[in-house]
Amino acid sequence: MRPTTTGASASALSADPPLAARVPLDLLDRRLLFVTGKGGVGKTTVASGLALLAARQGRRTLVCQSDAKGDLADAYEVSGLEFAPREVQPHLFAMAMDTESSLREYLRLQLKLPLVAKVGPLARAFDFIANAAPGVKEVLTVGKYVWEVRERHYDLVVVDAVASGHIVGQLAAPQAINQLVQVGVVRNQTSWMLDILSDPAQTGVVVVASPEEMPVNESLELAARIRDETTVDLAAVVVNRVLPELFGRGEEEVFVRLRRPERVVALSGAVGGDVGPVLDAAELAVTLRRTGAGHLATLRAGLPPALAMLYLPYLFSRAVGLRATHRIAEALAEELGR
Amino acid sequence: MSPRGGGGRDSTRDGTRGGPEAREARDGHDVHDARKVRAAGTNGGDRARTLERLLATKEIVVSCGSGGVGKTTMAAALAAMAATHLGGKVLVLTVDPARRLANALGLERFGNTEVVVPPEAFAAGGVEPRGALWAAMLDTKQSWDDLVRRHAPDARTRDAILSNALYENISGRFVQSHDYIAMERLFEIHSSGTYDLIVVDTPPTRNAIDFLEAPERMGEFFSSRLLRWLTAPAKSRVLTVTSKPFYRVADSILGSQFLGDIAEFFSLFQTMAPGFVERSGAVKRLLTDRRTTFLVVSTLEAAPAREAEFFVRELDARGLHLGAVILNKVLPTYLRRTNLTPVARALCRDAAALAADPSVHGGDEPDQVARVLQEVGESFLNYQVVAKRESEQRDELAQIPDVVATAPYLEADVHDLAGLLRLGEQVWR
C-alpha cells in the first residue's frame, strides 16, 4: 500500500507507545465486542459497520441487535431480524435478541428440558421474574453472546448493545448474580461467562460518541463506570459524525478577508451570482466544526491516553442502508489501518 | 437567518403576544374558544398556531422525543418563556438535565423539592418576568420511597418493604418504574394545585411510548396472575397445577432461596395494591385530559425524525393531544436555495481562474485563495444535501400537529437563563 508504512509504524512502536495504542490493530481480532453509547449517537451505524468490515475481511461474524427498534435490519437492507441468525452478507450473520427465545434455547441446551412446547406462558412468567430479579435477564442476554463465543460458532460476535444507561448493569450482571443467587444453574453458568468477559484478548466494549456536549459527558461517565464496575475491557471510543475541517493553516485568515464587502461584490460579479450566502454557509460550517472540536478535546482529555479513539466522518451524502454501512466500514478500515 | 424555517408562518401571526388575552385564557374564559379554534385547525383554518397560545390554554405540557434532540433544554426554555410572558407559577420538571442546564435553572442538587429560579437570573438576561419559574429534578429512589410510605397499609409493612434487600433493585427496574414514577410525580404535583403550568421532560426510554403505558401496566401488574404466582410460595406451599412447572424450572435455574426472597418481597408489595391501582388510573386520566398536551421535539436527522413520526402516530392512537412538533437544530433556509447551487459549483470548478482576478484575491496568495474558494463551494454543496434532506423530513412531520415550530442550530450551548430565553424566543410566536 503505502511504501513507508511498515518502517514508520515500527519506529513509532519503539519510540512512542501512545501512537501505537491509537491504532488498535487487535480490535477485530477479539471475539466479542459490545458497541454502546448514548441514544442517538449512531451505535447501530458503528456496530453494523464494524461487523461488515470484519466479514469483508473474511471473518465469520455474528451481529446481534439488542432492542426491537429494527435499525440493524435497515443497515443491511433486510426485513426484520429474528433470534435465529441468518446470513445477510457473505460471512455476516445477523440476529435479534429476545429473552423468551433465549430462555427456550437455554432450557433446551443447558437444562436439557424437554418441555419446549409448553414453555410459552412459563417463559412470559420467567421473563417477568427475569425483569424483576436483578441480573437474571442480563445473564440470559449476555450469556447467549458469550455462549456463541465459547462454542466457537463465529470468529467475531458484534453486539449492537443497549444504551449507556443499561450496559454497565448488563456487563456487571454475572458478578452480581453470584452474590444474589446462591445455587442453581444460573450461578454455575456465570463462572465461564466471567472468564470470557474479563479477558481483554477476547472481549471489549466500544463506546460510540458524537462531537456534542451531552454525548461527550455521557461517554466519559460511561468509560469510568466500565472501568470501576465491570471486569470488561474498554477497547476503543469511536467518534461518529465528525465534521470536516474546511481550512488549513493560514486559510481561515484568507477566508475572513474574502468576506470584505468589496471582495464579495467582485467575486459575485466574476461568478455571476450572489456568493454572500455561500460564504455564510462556509462560516456556519467552520463554527459547527469548531464547536464539535471543543467537545472532542474534552473527550480526549478525559480518557486514558493509551485508549484507542477512532474518528468517523459525517456523511453528507444521501446514502442510506447498505451503501451507508459500506462507507462506514471503509472509514473504520482506514482508522484501523487496514 | 429566519428562525421559522421559511414555512410561510409569518402570515399566521396575529399579534397575540401573551399579555392580557393569554392571561385570560389561563383563567378559563377563553379556553372553550381556543378548543374550537384547534378543532377547526384540521380544515386548514385557524389553529392554536403558536406555542404561546397553546401553552396559555394548558396546565400540563409533556415534552417527548428521542435522545439528543434537546428536549430537556426545550422544556426548560418553554417554561422560562411561559413564566416570562404568560405569568403565573410555572414549574419545569426535568429528569436528567446536563449540569450546565441545572446550573442555568439554579438547581444545585438533585432532589424532589421544587426550587424557585431566582429573579436575578431573569434580571441578568434583561427580563422582568410576569410570573415565577420553578424547577425540580426527578429523584426516582426518593419518589419510590414516598410512594411506599403513602400506600403501605401500616408502619410494619412499610419498614419491611423499605428495608428489603431486593427493594432497591426492583423499584429501579420493574414495569418501567422510572417512567411510572415520572408520571406519578407529575400527578402529585398537579393535584397540589400549586402551579398554573407544569412542563415535564420525559425520561430517556428505549421506546418513546413506554412512559405512556407505564401507569396502565402498573395497574395491570397488581391484578395479574404473575403476581399471584410470584407470591404463592410465601402464602402457601400448595401449588396449583398451572404454576407447578413454573416453580420447577425457576427453582432449578435460580435456586429456591432466591425465589423465596422474591416471593416475600412481592407479598409485601401486594399490600399496596389498592392505592397503586387507583392512582395509576388517575394518572392515566390526567394524561388524556384536554388540559394536558404533548410536544414532540425532534431534529431533522433521519433516526430521530422517524421516531418522532412513530410517536405522533402513537399519541393519536391513544387519543392523546399532540400540541406541537418542535424541530430543533435546523439548518438555515438559505442552504436550500437552488439558485445558489450553480454559484457553489462555479466556485469549485473555476476556483483557480476566479482567484487569479486581482479584485477577487485582493493581494492574497492566489493559490491559497483558490483552495479557499474550492472548500467554500464544496462545503456549501455538502450542506445543501443535508438541508434538502431536512426539508423533506420537515414536510412529513409538519402535516399533523396544530403547531410546528423551528429552532435554528445555535452556535453556543445554553448555559444560563438568558440562553434559555433566546432559544424560547425562536419557537414561541
A140 to chain B: closest CA residue: B253
B322 lies in the same domain as B344? no
B-chain CB neighbours of A162 within 8 Å are 206
d(CA B86, CA B398): 26
Could you tell me if residue A295 is inside a domain?
A: no
Residue that the C-alpha cell 406462558 belongs to? A121
Chain B residues touching residue A273 (CB < 8 angstroms): 339-340, 342-343, 346
Q: Is residue B402 part of a domain?
A: no
Residue B198 lies in a domain: yes
Query: Per mean pLDDT, which range of A147-161, B103-117, B290-304, B330-344 is the poorest?
Result: B103-117
pLDDT for A292 beyond 50: yes
Query: What is the pLDDT confidence band of residue A219, given thresholds at 50, 70 and 90?
Result: very high
Please give the pLDDT value at position B252.
Answer: 64
pLDDT of residue B279: 82
Q: Do A273 and B380 touch (CB under 8 A)?
A: no
Query: Average pLDDT, stretch A103-121?
Result: 63
The verdict on B196 and B77 lying in the same domain is yes
Of the pLDDT bands very low, low, confident and very high (cuts 50, 70, 90), residue B235 is: low
Query: What pLDDT is recorded for position B374?
Result: 96
Residues B248 and B308 in one domain: yes
Q: Which residue of chain B is at minimal alpha-carbon distance from A134?
A: B169
* Mean pLDDT calculated for residue range B232-247: 57
Under 8 Å CB pairs connecting chains A and B tally to: 202
All cell numbers assigned to B309: 413520526
Instruction: Return the residue of B nearest to A186 by Cα.
Output: B253
For residue B266, tell me if it sits in a domain: yes
Do A61 and A55 meet the contact criterion of CB atoms below 8 Å apart? yes
Which range is least confidently modeled, A4-8, A208-212, B201-205? A4-8
d(CA B347, CA A276): 12
Q: Does the pLDDT value for residue B412 go beyond 50?
A: yes
In a domain, A38, yes or no: yes
Domain match, B164 and B272 both: yes
What's the burial of B175, exposed, middle or buried (CB within 10 Å: 0-12/13-18/19+)?
A: buried
C-alpha dist (Å) from residue B160 to A146, B98, B153 = 38, 36, 12
Domain with residue A210: its CATH number is 3.40.50.300
> Across A166-170, A241-245, B265-269, which has the greatest mean pLDDT?
A241-245
| B214 touches A at CB < 8 Å | no
The one-letter amino acid at A325: T
Q: Residue A156: which of A252, A57, A68 has the closest Cα? A: A57
Q: pLDDT at residue B425 above 70?
A: yes
Of the candidates B175, B206, B412, the beta carbon closest to that of A67 is on B206
Residue with cell 472509514: A331
Q: Which domain holds residue B366?
A: 340-386
Q: How many CB atoms lie within 10 A of CB B358?
A: 9
Q: For the CA atoms of chain B, what is the radius of gyration? A: 27
Q: What is the mean pLDDT of residues B146-153?
A: 86
Q: Which residue has the higher pLDDT, B83 or B258?
A: B83
Q: Which residue(s) pair with B403 in the sheet?
A: B324
Higher pLDDT, B220 or B3: B220
The mean per-residue pLDDT over the stretch A187-212 comes to 90
Q: Is A162's Cβ below 8 Å from some Cβ in B?
A: yes
pLDDT tier for residue B241 given thresholds of 50, 70 and 90? low
Give the whole-number percent of chain B exceeding pLDDT 90. Answer: 34
Segment B154-184, tens digit of pLDDT: 999 899 888 876 776 666 555 456 677 778 8
The answer to whether the Cβ–Cβ distance between B253 and A165 falls below 8 Å is no
Q: Does A100 touch chain B (CB under 8 A)?
A: no
Residue B8's pLDDT is: 35
Shared domain check, B284 and B347? no
A276-295: burial string, b at 16+ Cβ within 10 Å, e else = bbbbbbbebbbebbebbeeb
Lowest mean pLDDT among A38-42, A124-128, B412-416: A124-128
What is the average pLDDT across A235-262? Answer: 94
**Choice between B219 and B135, residue whose per-residue pLDDT is larger:** B135
Look at residue A124 in the predicted model and tell me its pLDDT: 58
- Structure confidence at residue B257 as a pLDDT band (50, 70, 90): low
Question: Is residue B219 over pLDDT 50?
Answer: yes
State the nearest Cα–Cα gap between A266 and chain B, in angstroms. 6
Q: Is residue A130 part of a domain?
A: yes
pLDDT at res. B139: 77
Residue A58 falls inside a structural domain: yes
Residue A319 pLDDT more than 50? Answer: yes
For residues B348 and B237, state if they share a domain.
no
Q: Is B18 left (phi over 0), alpha (psi -120 to 50) or beta?
A: left
For residue A125, which residues of chain B lie inside 8 Å, CB to CB? 226, 229, 246
CB contact under 8 A, A254 and B249: no
Chain B partners within 8 Å of A47 (Cβ): none
B230 touching A (Cβ < 8 Å): yes
Q: Which residues contact A63 (CB under 8 A, 6 or more apart)?
A: A47, A48, A51, A72, A92, A93, A94, A95, A157, A158, A159, A160
Are the CB atoms for B375 and B412 separated by under 8 Å? no
Q: Do A251 and B368 touch (CB under 8 A)?
A: yes
pLDDT digits (tens, 9 = 90+) for B319-341: 889 999 999 999 999 999 999 99
CA angle (B359 as vertex; B354, B362 as ends), nearest 5? 100
Q: Looking at residue B14, what is its pLDDT?
A: 38
d(CA B12, CA B415): 32
A74: nearest CA in chain B?
B303
Mean pLDDT for the stretch of residues B7-12: 35
The yes-or-no verdict on residue B427 having pLDDT over 70 is: yes
Q: One-letter amino acid identity for B104? A: A
| Lowest mean pLDDT across A30-39, B66-75, B257-266 | B257-266
**Confidence grade of residue A132 (pLDDT, cut at 50, 70, 90):** low
Inter-residue contact A153 to A32 (CB < 8 Å) = no
So what's the pLDDT on residue A101?
A: 81
Q: Grid coordinates standing for B43?
A: 380544515
Strands B115-116 and B132-137: antiparallel
Query: Which residues of chain A from 306 to 335 reach within 8 Å of chain B, CB to CB?
Result: 316-318, 320
Q: Does A79 touch chain B (CB under 8 A)?
A: no
Cβ-count burial B177-216 (b if 16+ within 10 Å, e if not): bbbbbbbbbbbbbbeeeebbbbbbbbbbbbbbbbbbbbbb
> How many structural domains comprise chain B?
2
Residue, of A310 and B109, whose pLDDT is higher: A310
From B249, B242, B258, select the one nearest A104 (Cα to Cα): B249
| Same domain for B209 and B346 | no
Disruptive mutation site among B94, B217, B379 for chain A (greatest number of A CBs within 10 Å): B379
- Give pLDDT, residue A112: 61
- What's the gap in Å between the CA of B214 and the closest CA on chain A? 15
B169 touches chain A (CB under 8 A): yes
pLDDT band at B72 (very low <50, low <70, confident <90, very high): confident
Residue of B nearest to A277 (CA): B334
Distance CA A107, CA A191 (A): 18
**Cα A308 from Cα A19, distance rounded (Å):** 9
B364 with B234, same domain? no
CATH of the domain at B119: 3.40.50.300
* Mean of all residue pLDDT scores within chain A: 84
- Side chain identity at residue B2, one-letter code: S
Residue B314 pLDDT exceeds 60: yes
Note the pLDDT of residue B230.
Answer: 66
Domain containing A105: what range? 17-246+308-335
Of the two residues A15 and A217, the one the predictor is more confident about is A217
What confidence score (pLDDT) does residue B261 get?
72
- Please tell me if residue A179 touches chain B, with a CB cutoff of 8 Å: no
Question: In this structure, are B349 and B265 located in the same domain?
Answer: no
Instruction: Among A165, A214, A279, select the one facing B376 at the smallest CB separation.
Output: A279
Is position B43 within any domain?
no
| Best mutation target, A284, A290, A314, A317, to test chain B (most B CBs within 10 A) | A284
Reference A287, options B426, B68, B410, B377; nearest CA is B410
CB atoms within 10 A of CB B219: 21
Lowest pLDDT segment from A44-48, A200-204, B270-274: B270-274
* B401 pLDDT higher than 80: no
Q: Is the distance from CB of A273 to CB of B340 less than 8 angstroms? A: yes
Q: Closest CB to A184: pick one of B245, B252, B334.
A: B252
Looking at every residue in chain B, the average pLDDT score rounds to 78
Domain-located, residue B72:
yes
A86-95, B88-97, B410-419: least confident range:
B410-419
Does position A78 have pLDDT exceeding 70, yes or no? yes
Q: pLDDT digit string (tens) for B358-399? A: 999 999 999 999 999 999 999 999 999 999 999 998 888 887
User: What's residue A261's pLDDT?
Assistant: 94
Question: What is the tally of structural domains in chain A?
Answer: 1
* A-proximal residues of B, 271-300, CB under 8 Å: none
| Segment of A265-279, B183-197, B314-328 carrying the highest mean pLDDT | A265-279
Chain A CB contacts of B250 under 8 Å are 126, 129
Q: How far apart are the CA of B324 and the nearest CA of chain A, in angstroms?
A: 22
Q: Is residue A266 part of a domain?
A: no
- Contact list in B for residue A271 (CB cut-off 8 A) is 343, 346-347, 350, 354
3-state secondary structure chain A: CCCCHHHHHHHHHHHCHHHHHHCCCCHHHCCEEEEEECCCCCHHHHHHHHHHHHHHCCCCEEEEECCCCCHHHHHCCCCCCCCCCEEEECCEEEEECCHHHHHHHHHHHCCCCCCHHHHHHHHHHHHHHHHHCCCHHHHHHHHHHHHHHHCCCCCEEEEECCCHHHHHHHHHHHHHHHHHCCCCHHHHHHHHHHHHHCCCCCEEEEEEECCCHHHHHHHHHHHHHHHHHCCCCEEEEEEEEECCCCCCCCHHHHHHHHCCHHHHHHHHHHHCCCCHHHHHHHHHHHHHHHHHHHHHHHHHHHCCCCCEEEEEECCCCCCCHHHHHHHHHHHHHHHCCC
Interatomic CA distance for residues B411 and B413, integer angstroms: 7
* pLDDT tens sequence across B101-132: 777 776 666 567 888 998 888 888 888 999 99
pLDDT band at B39 (very low <50, low <70, confident <90, very high): very low
Rank B82-86, B154-158, B257-261 by mean pLDDT and report only the highest: B82-86
Q: Which residue of A has its CA nearest to B176?
A: A131
- Whether residue B13 is predicted with pLDDT greater than 80 in this model: the reply is no
Give Cβ neighbours of residue B113 (< 8 Å, ≥ 6 apart). Answer: B136
Contact A211, A239 (CB under 8 A): yes
Determine the residue type at B85: H
Tell me, what's the pLDDT at A176?
73
Interchain pair B68, A40: CB under 8 A: yes
Angle value at C-alpha B223, between B221 and B226, nearest 5 degrees: 65
Q: What is the mean pLDDT of residues B304-320?
A: 87
Say what the pLDDT of residue A117 is.
47
Of the candidates A316, A77, A326, the residue with the CA atom closest to the CA atom of residue B301: A316
A282 touches chain B (CB under 8 A): yes
Q: Which residues contact B164 (CB under 8 A, 6 or more apart)?
A: B264, B265, B268
What are φ and ψ of residue B200, in 5° steps? -110, 135
Judgement on whether residues B285 and B373 belong to the same structural domain of the protein? no
Domain assignment present for residue A314? The answer is: yes
